[in-house]
Structure 1
Amino acid sequence: MNSNQHPQDIQGVSLLSLADQYELPLYVYDGEKIVNQIHAMQEAFASVPLKIKYATKALPNISVLKLVRNAGAGIDAVSIEEVRLGMLAGYEASEIMYTPSGVSWKEIEEAVDLGVMVNLDSIPLIREFGEKYGNRVPACIRINPHIMAGGNSKISVGHKHSKFGISIEQIDQIVQTVEKYQLSIAGLHVHTGSDILDAEVFLRGAKVLFDAAKHFKELKFIDCGGGFKVAYKAGDPFTDIQEVGRIVSKAFLEFCEDYGRPLELWLEPGKFLVSESGYFLAKTNLVKETPTVTFVGVDSGLNHLIRPMMYDAYHDVYNLSNPNGPERTYHIVGYICETDTLAADRKLSEVRAGDVLVLKNAGAYGFSMASNYNSRLRPAEVLIWKGQAHLIRKREEFEDLVRHQVQIEL
């Protein structure tokens, strides 16, 4: 069981050897897993003209973006900085969708100057975009479909009270504003949330766009967002991408027939592509027994992996150093000066001070949400590709922490 569910190596590269070489804590990514997930999605939607736009915010390392690009996927960026990261990774502007939320007008102008597709998510933004660009710059419109979906309220973004997108109930106002400025609308977009299991949820979102599309005669694509769920532990449910592909593709082709010409179908997977590729390695500082709980204190914390504290996210944990030891139950906690629980009530092979623990499913929203909280340094990142380990981000040093601070005379 341990060899299958709890790997000691990735593509033949020993995780313990990486811990020795690059020090801990450490993020490790399996590049083959990322590429295989892209191929699985391409296969599931093989009957339609699909364009995958990887949600950069999940894992924005430039080397990972290069890997994603080589596998045939574009990117979705939510900030101008992500747009620029994509371009550094070799993406053409035409391969990038820019989906901001409440950003400054200056950032919108910069995106247009760079030539990326801008996704407009408010009527005031449509109005300002129209006043500046008229029909000279194609754009996309993000619709809020009023669909509650996702595994956590913090990652449900398509419901009626969400800040994201323009309410579908305001479609007449959207159309009037577009017509007033004669905007060139190339696409319609919807994204309902994350950790969505039911193919029917994706279909409901798509049908909202299909209905809205009758108001826009020059569309080139329909963007159904992302949110596909991955398994976090043995027996966990996950999105059946083949079923989603079958159901949504069939409906999309029927829509294109009604629309009068073929369009492209865009999807924006993030977690689906990179979550399972990631392993977060941390060293055990101490094992602390109390009358009620045995704590394992690791040399890391919510500053490196905030998802358990922020989203109550589950990350499977195993003892890399002692895989065959007797099982005991532990709370794995970090060194941050506040409640900092990475995993609670977990059965692990006996943990000793100095052991290396591995937290799985750490590819998405792990390093990308890491911080210097408590003035801690961020870890290194390593990508395993074709059986070789590649350092893709150096470990921070103290000089990095103070590099941009300015000391004044007091």
Structure 2
Amino acid sequence: MTDKNLIKIAEEFGTPTYVYDAESIKNHYEKLTSSFHKSTRFFYAAKALTNINILKYIKNLGASLDCVSINEVKLGLKAGFTSDKILFTPNCVDLREIEEAMGLKVHINIDNISILEQFGNKYGNTYPIFVRINPHIYAGGNHKISTGHIDSKFGISIHQLRHIERVMKSTNLLVEGLHMHTGSEIKDADVFLQGLEIMFELAEHFPDLKYIDMGSGFKVPYQEGDMETDVKTLGKKVEKAVADYQKESSRKFQLWFEPGKYLVSESGHFLVKSNVIKQTTATVFVGINSGFNHLIRPMFYDSYHIIENLSNPKGPERIYTVVGNICETDTFAWDRKINEVREGDILVFRNAGAYGFEMSSNFNSRLKPAEVFFLDGKAHLIRRREEFEDLLKNQIEVL
């Protein structure tokens, strides 16, 4: 997909609009599958982007699905994923939501002792489960998206292994999988190997184990000079580590990964329009027709997005601070070099496919943007832009 395609999409569908390039998603998925042993399964982490068309496309590539809410499970089933290809990994939910997922016959992943005991006491070994482990590995990246360290709410501590074993013994739990996930900004591939060694050690305590799920954390580059996870090298190292372990232990497991951001981030382009150029004594602001209600990541955890001027790509570079139209501080970029921006120009935020639309809101009673899927050389509208009536559709007037 070219910048000319993006300009045409902005002209046809308006702004703000999220655009996703199917070819990019396919290339990233094939890069993963060609880098790891053919038995490895990849579960797309749906929370990154759940538009039903994206789910269907990724299913057709051959992926399975990782879900963190019961509604993601239902979306996955509606998109055509079979129940055996869906893993449900909720956090801080009650037993009722897990029971609903059981009714849908998907894989269940439990990440705390309380639910493990409740589940075991009620169902024993009648429904096999996964157990999510917190390995106490700090994988780097922003602390708000790191999930495997000692202070994280996710998973059962490796130091609570004896407690897990007591629950298994007293309730006859059938544990068929072990799971871990340390975050989404792993720069050092050896972090995966460290986690894998922990899983191998834990596996000795789970006689019915069939699967080891390493989560994800494959890093994508956001700006020039950024590191990214070398999945080809990682695949070779992981394959050797698994082979060595299987030779020593005579046990075999299927290895799972859960790429989310890795598959869709670089496919996404967020199109906006420059509303005003505002010069102050300190800086020059570009005020756009969007805000953190549409793309919260820069304000939430300091994410970096390349911002380019599609309308004036050869203009002289100037220094701008790019801000939104929300009645809060919503700064997308500080002192950023961008080709000269004029009022009315179309700008694009790169790497906007993951957690962009998914985390959007109606703050300030602003409408959510449209979504477009660029597939086989053609732009398809896959979510209409909200209208005023959408703000009222679930409200009940009592006055």
The CA distance in 1 between the partners of 2:177 and 2:279, in whole Å, is 58
Q: Is the 8 A contact 2:94 2:115 kept in 1?
A: no
Paired-residue identity, %: 53
> Match for 1:169 among 159, 166, 170?
159
Please say if 1:8 is aligned against 2:26.
no
Corresponding position of 2:382: 392
Q: Secondary structure at the match of 2:266?
A: helix
The CA distance in 2 between the partners of 1:381 and 1:55, in whole Å, is 19
Please say if 1:358 is aligned against 2:353.
no
1:86-101 alignment, distance < 5 Å = 86-101=76-91
Please say if 1:41 is aligned against 2:41.
no
Q: Secondary structure at the match of 1:329?
A: strand
Corresponding position of 2:19: 28
1:338-377 alignment, distance < 5 Å = 338-377=328-367
Deviation of 1:7 after TM superposition, in Å, equals 4.4
Corresponding position of 2:310: 320
Corresponding position of 2:208: 218
Corresponding position of 2:250: 260
Runs (5+) with no aligned partner, structure 2: none
Corresponding position of 1:136: 126
Q: Is the 8 A contact 2:52 2:75 kept in 1?
A: yes
Corresponding position of 1:180: 170
Farther-moved stretch of structure 1 (256-265 vs 131-140): 256-265
TM-score of the pair, normalised by structure 2: 0.98
Q: Is the 8 A contact 1:142 1:190 kept in 2?
A: yes
Deviation string 1:35-72 (CA, Å, 9 cap, x unpaired) is 11111000110x35111011100011110011111111
The CA distance in 2 between the partners of 1:15 and 1:161, in whole Å, is 42
Aligned letter for 1:311? Answer: Y
Deviation of 1:168 after TM superposition, in Å, equals 0.1
Please say if 1:68 is aligned against 2:71.
no
Aligned letter for 1:201? Answer: V
1:234-249 alignment, distance < 5 Å = 234-249=224-239
Runs (5+) with no aligned partner, structure 1: 1-5
TM-score of the pair, normalised by structure 1: 0.96
The size of the alignment, in residue pairs, is 399
Aligned letter for 1:40? Answer: K
Q: Is the 8 A contact 1:331 1:345 kept in 2?
A: yes
CA RMSD, Structure 1 to Structure 2 (Å): 1.1
Q: Is the 8 A contact 1:48 1:249 kept in 2?
A: no
The CA distance in 1 between the partners of 2:147 and 2:25, in whole Å, is 25
Deviation of 1:198 after TM superposition, in Å, equals 0.5
> Match for 1:103 among 74, 85, 93?
93
1:176-215 alignment, distance < 5 Å = 176-215=166-205
Aligned letter for 1:218? Answer: D
Deviation of 1:262 after TM superposition, in Å, equals 2.4
Corresponding position of 1:3: none
Q: Secondary structure at the match of 1:344?
A: strand
Farther-moved stretch of structure 1 (258-267 vs 337-346): 258-267
Q: Secondary structure at the match of 1:215?
A: coil
Q: Is the 8 A contact 2:137 2:148 kept in 1?
A: yes
The CA distance in 1 between the partners of 2:149 and 2:220, in whole Å, is 22
Q: Is the 8 A contact 1:48 1:264 kept in 2?
A: no
> Match for 1:379 among 348, 369, 378?
369
The CA distance in 1 between the partners of 2:176 and 2:44, in whole Å, is 19
The CA distance in 2 between the partners of 1:256 and 1:337, in whole Å, is 58
Please say if 1:58 is aligned against 2:53.
no
Aligned letter for 2:261? Answer: K
Deviation string 1:86-126 (CA, Å, 9 cap, x unpaired) is 01100111100000011122101100011111101011111
Please say if 1:251 is aligned against 2:251.
no
The CA distance in 2 between the partners of 1:246 and 1:221, in whole Å, is 19
Q: Is the 8 A contact 2:264 2:353 kept in 1?
A: yes
